[in-house]
């Protein structure tokens, strides 16, 4: 009798969306490209991060697109 090797559906549930991702934005003040770490486990968030070049506060809006499996980052100056 040949030995039947059962290779059923293995438990490979590696998450497709990593909780942390990096995105490159452009500073609205000095125009320098900045690499920021974003938490893509949150659907939508807004926070302030200081520019690594000119140290001015950038308002970041991170929005995750579930369909496209991507996250959008919008960088705005804090000017009102």
Task: Please tell me whether residue 48 binds Zn ion under the rule CB under 5 A.
Answer: no
Instruction: Out of 29, 36, 59, 73, point to the residue binding Zn ion (CB under 5 A).
Output: 29
- Binder to Zn ion among 17, 42, 48, 53 (CB under 5 A)? 53
Stretch that binds Zn ion, among 4-12, 21-29, 35-43, 64-72 (CB under 5 A): 21-29
Q: What span, in angstroms and rounded, lies between the C-alpha atoms of 16 and 22?
A: 15
Beta strand extents in the chain (DSSP E only)? 20-26, 33-39, 44-50, 57-65, 70-77
Spatial CA neighbour of 45 closest among 36, 54, 56, 32: 36
Binding positions for Zn ion, rule: CB under 5 A: 27, 29-30, 51, 53-54
């Amino acid at each position: 009798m040949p030995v039947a090797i059962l290779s059923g559906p293995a438990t490979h549930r590696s998450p497709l969306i990593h909780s942390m991702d990096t995105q490159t934005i452009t500073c609205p003040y000095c125009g320098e490209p900045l690499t920021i770490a974003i938490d893509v486990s949150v659907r939508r968030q807004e926070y302030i991060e200081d520019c690594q070049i000119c140290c001015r506060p950038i308002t970041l809006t991170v929005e995750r697109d579930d369909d496209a499996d991507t996250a959008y980052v919008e960088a705005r100056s804090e000017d009102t």
